[in-house]
Amino acid sequence: MKISIFGLGYVGTVSAGCLATDGHLVIGVDPNKTKVELINQGTSPIVEKDIGEMVAAAVKNNQLRATQDVHDAVINSEISLVCVGTPSQLNGNLDLSHVRKVCEQIGAALKEKSDFHVVVARSTMLPGSMRNVVIPALESFSGKKVGIDFGVCNNPEFLREGTAVFDYYNPPKTVIGETDTKAGELLMQLYAKMTAPLIRTGVDTAEMVKYADNTWHAVKVAFANEIGNLCKAEGIDGHKVMEIFCQDTKLNLSPYYMKPGFAFGGSCLPKDVRALMYKGKSLDIDLPLINAILSSNQRQIEKGIKMITEKGNKKVGVLGFSFKAGTDDLRESPLVNVIEYLIGKGYELKLYDKNVNLAALTGANQDYILNHIPHISKLMASSMEEVLSFAETIVIGNGAAEFCNVPNELKSGQVVVDLVRIVPNQSGDRYDGICW
């Protein structure tokens, strides 16, 4: 394919070298005359393993050239990759002036082009940037409409300095956020030989994926350092602890626990986090990440309460209030906190949880239910139907299978607050999910 790449910095140069090596005809574009001259001399403007040799070979084979002429690059390519910088401002926001300017220039060139052209943002930008900056600039300066006259995609990169060429050819995933199918199909051709999962989604999701990835990497570093600081104070080998930690790919390094939803609870997580916080204090070690976990969890409980109270209904039914489906354990269940708050504010409640009902009769938690939270046990209904016939606001508190059809069987005036995403892709005026 014929590809133009805007911005010959780190991402742009690596992309140019790799795409040209793959046999594509690549035109690099940069306002910096020195970078353009270096590329045309077969010299990489960045220092990165293998890329110098790739650029030299690509230029020699006439697969790669560079220019300052935006019009030339757009007219003579099918796809334009935007790889310009998005530096931080003092307040933490991003400076998108380079992105906006390049998109205006590309748009002006598209005005004179009749062929369908795809503009792909590889620059890292916050969610909403494509729709609020990239697309408006392209449409305004081209006089054309996205999805009809030209296509737009967001294609985040996952390159690490020092191993960028390896990462390019061995990505963990390839994400294409597309405004239209035609644009996504054209961009997919660049990655036809990749063996990594290829994921097609919306542009907003693709923008956010990059930030989820990088923030998670930052959290991992901070977490490992805080565990390491605790270990050192206790004379424990922190590297050995984390080495063992990382061998667990069923729970620790896995999708488990990584789904947005309600707060955690139960007999282990809150207790153990508190204990580790106490240990840090007793050793006079500051653990800002670990110390923030319970307060973050409390914010999610408060968010759930706000969602329920904002519905304006006084009759509330709760379906599932053990800390997770398939258990009768109410110890530190965040749903119990929600229920107790609503009772205190004068709401009328009916509660149903099959496992908790059984526990109240014969289970191990019988004493806790009947003696520690008797005010809650008195509100328990014997069936889900009893709750549904009573409630104006229905709260789905855990993922028990029997609750799956509830959002589709609402009576007039009823609304659902879903804390577990009981079924995917649910929506509507009478449905409210806590993180979706």
288 part of a folded domain: no
304 pLDDT band (50/70/90 cuts)? Answer: very high
Opening angle at CA 227, ends 225 and 233, nearest 5: 100
Q: In the numeric block, which tokens belong to residue 86?
A: 């998005």
36, 155: one domain: yes
* 3-state secondary structure (DSSP) of residue 366: helix
Residue 372 has pLDDT above 80, yes or no: no
392 pLDDT band (50/70/90 cuts)? Answer: very high
The residue-averaged pLDDT of 93-118 equals 97
61 part of a folded domain: yes
- The model's pLDDT over 312-353, given as tens digits with 9 standing for 90+, comes to 999 999 999 887 777 777 778 899 999 999 999 999 999 999
Phi-psi region of 50 (alpha: psi -120 to 50; beta: other; left: phi over 0): left
Does this model's pTM top 0.85? My answer is yes
The residue-averaged pLDDT of 200-215 equals 96
Tell me the C-alpha distance between 356 and 365, whole Å: 8
373 pLDDT band (50/70/90 cuts)? Answer: confident
Q: In the numeric block, which tokens belong to residue 88?
A: 């931080």
263 part of a folded domain: no
Chosen domain end from 201, 218, 248: 201
264 part of a folded domain: no
Separation in Å, CA 409 to CA 116, 383, 389, 413: 46, 16, 11, 12
Chosen domain end from 153, 177, 201: 201
Tell me the C-alpha distance between 334 and 296, whole Å: 13
Residue 361 has pLDDT above 60, yes or no: no
Number of structural domains (the chain) is 2
The residue-averaged pLDDT of 91-99 equals 95
**77, 79, 84, 88: CA torsion to nearest 10:** 160
97 part of a folded domain: yes
The terminus-to-terminus CA distance of the chain in angstroms comes to 38
368 pLDDT band (50/70/90 cuts)? Answer: confident
Percent of the chain with pLDDT over 90: 86
Query: What residue type is 178 in one-letter code?
Result: E
Chosen domain end from 145, 180, 201: 201
Residue 88 has pLDDT above 90, yes or no: yes
Q: In the numeric block, which tokens belong to residue 37?
A: 């001259």
279 pLDDT band (50/70/90 cuts)? Answer: very high
CATH number at residue 97: 3.40.50.720
The domain containing residue 410 runs over which residues? 297-433
365 pLDDT band (50/70/90 cuts)? Answer: low
Q: In the numeric block, which tokens belong to residue 339?
A: 């229920």
Tell me the C-alpha distance between 29 and 76, whole Å: 12
Q: Which residues contact 78 (CB under 8 A, 6 or more apart)?
A: 1, 2, 3, 115, 117, 118, 186
Provide the greatest CA pair distance for the chain.
Answer: 82
194, 327: one domain: no
162 part of a folded domain: yes
Contact at 8 Å (CB) between 125 and 94? yes
- The model's pLDDT over 32-42, given as tens digits with 9 standing for 90+, comes to 999 999 999 99
User: How is the beta sheet containing 393-396 ordered, strand by strand?
Assistant: 348-352, 315-319, 393-396, 415-418, 431-433
Give me the active site residues, please: 268
360 pLDDT band (50/70/90 cuts)? Answer: low
Contact at 8 Å (CB) between 85 and 9? yes
Tell me the C-alpha distance between 422 and 257, whole Å: 16
171, 319: one domain: no
**Mean pLDDT of all residues belonging to the chain:** 94
283 part of a folded domain: no
